Structure formats: C-alpha cells, structure tokens
Amino acid sequence: MPQVCRLPLGLLAIHSIALLVLVALLSTGAHAQSPKLTLPKLALPRTGAEFPPELLAPVADLTAGFPSAERDCYYMLLAHAQSTDLNLQRRAAFENQQSAEASFRTDRKNRRRKHLLFYDIVTHPESWRGQPVTLTGYIRDLTPMEAGENSFGLETLYQAHLFTDDSSQFPYVVICTRIPENIVRPTAKAPTDYVTVTGYFYKLWTYRAGTESGHWSAPLVLANRLEWNPPRGNSAVDPRWYWLAGGGAALVIFGSLVLRNRNRQARQVLRDLATSPAPTEAETRAALRSLERIDHPNDHPDTLE
C-alpha cells in the first residue's frame, strides 16, 4: 500500500495558483465525506490498452487509504500495467492526450490557453480512471515497500512523487513494480530528473501531508516501471558531483583572479621602484618574489640569491 509523505511546498508559478485552489478545495472536502465530482465527463478513445472501466466501479476518489472493496481493483490494475505491452500503453497515452486537448480546445475560451494534463485529470477523474498516461519530470523520493497480500504475485513495489512541468509544485503519486538499477536515488534537496512513467490513472488519492490541514490529494498512477533517461554519458554520474565540480571550477577561477591581481600589483611596485629614489633591498626582493610566484607556479623559492 502507498506510504505517506510530507508534501514539499515552495514558491508557486503563477499558472499553478488555480491548481492550488482546486486541489486544496478537493483535499478539504475529501477528508470529510469523499464527495463525487459532478463535472462533465470527458470522452477518451478506446485503444485496447485501457483497463475495463466496469472493473473499477468500486473505486472512489478523494478517499484516504484503500477500502477493502478497492484492494482487488488496485492489484488488478497493477498486474494489468505489468502485463500490457509498454509500446501499446504509450500509443494509447499519446492518443488520450491528443483527444483531451482537442476537447479542451472546443471551448473558445481555451483556444489560447495551455492544456494542462494534471488539471484535466483532477477535474475529470472518472473519465481518466483506468486510462494510460505518460508523465515526464523529476522525483523527490523513491521508496520501496511491500506489496501486501495479493493473488498476482506482486511482492515489492516502489513509490515516488513525480513533478511535471504542468503539475508545477503539485505531485503525482506513482506506484510501480520495477525501477532502473542505475537510477540515482533522489532526496528532497537533490531530486532525480529525466524520469518518465507510462501507467494507468487509478484515483485521486488523499494522504497525510505537511500542509495546514494535515492532508492532501493527488492523482495516483499505477505502472509497471519507471524509466530514467539522463543525457547520454551521464547515466552513472550522481548529479551531486556536478555541484562539487562547479564549486571546484569556481575556486580555480577565483584563484586565477587573485593571482592576476597580485601580478598587477607586483609589476606596479617594480614600475614605482624604477622611478623612486633609492628603493630598499627589502622592497625589491618583495616585488621580485611576487613575480616569481606568478611566472613559475611550480617553484616556491624562499629566498632570492
């Protein structure tokens, strides 16, 4: 069963304010009586990859946990995601996205607005239930957990909170049966980017979170596996090394600027000595020593003969 997570809330992009209001309202109502949404139903195409909707009839949105009536649905959908060809799921997810956006554009007010899949799922959960979706973004956690007793041979599952461009600071909760062996494990301060998942929307799930109300609601997607596709050549590199490399480069640049400054100062001293009456031996030695360190960085003479 999914685990709870403290929701990290940061500064929100302007376009996400509507999502915040919507999800907050849904989450507030969910904790009380799990109301059914009454928004118009979205007609998505039948591709052959979707899960039979009648088998998901017991599933209710905006509920905490998984009532006993839903548990078989939960495991059936996970098993379906595991057994259905991934390319078929991807094609169906693409067609769903295209169909949903076309429906969105039929309203003249939306013709210049961006279609947000996250918003579409949150406002049409019954239409998306059991339908394939493809999501790409970054994850802030990746937690293994026991699958619990089931009749499908599922043993270990993995849970992640996935943030996409259109979901902004609001996560999808993803549960899958497999993860890449070489994936860099994320933390709240060092998320893992370039993550893609194709799976099935299950429900709007309410869970405990670090919000003012103590709970939150998010789309729950069940999938066979996570995919991780970092830029070529970086698959085995922990992104945190880039911070170290960047810090080292900054130190090198800073050091070179300091040395250049010292070089200019030393040469200025020599120019001053050329026009000054009777420079002292100590002043001359100090100026030459500064130049020697710049011109011969591998030599560190303590004295000049």
The pLDDT tens digits for 40-79 are 567 787 777 889 989 999 999 998 878 888 999 999 999 9
Question: How far is 131 from 262, CA to CA, in rounded Å?
Answer: 67
298: pLDDT strictly greater than 50: no
Q: Whole-prediction pTM value?
A: 0.67
* Strand, coil or helix: 174: strand
Query: Which residues in 245-255 are b (16+ Cβ under 10 Å) and which e?
Result: eeeeeeeeeee
Mean pLDDT, residues 227-238 taken together: 72
pLDDT digits (tens, 9 = 90+) for 179-209: 999 999 999 899 999 999 999 999 999 988 7
Question: How far is 187 from 225, CA to CA, in rounded Å?
Answer: 20
pLDDT digits (tens, 9 = 90+) for 68-126: 889 999 999 999 999 999 999 999 999 999 999 999 999 888 888 899 999 999 999 99
7: pLDDT strictly greater than 60: no
pLDDT at 305: 37
Contact status, residue 5 vs residue 141, Cβ threshold 8 Å: yes
Counting Cβ atoms within 10 Å, is residue 267 exposed (0-12), middle (13-18) or buried (19+)?
A: middle
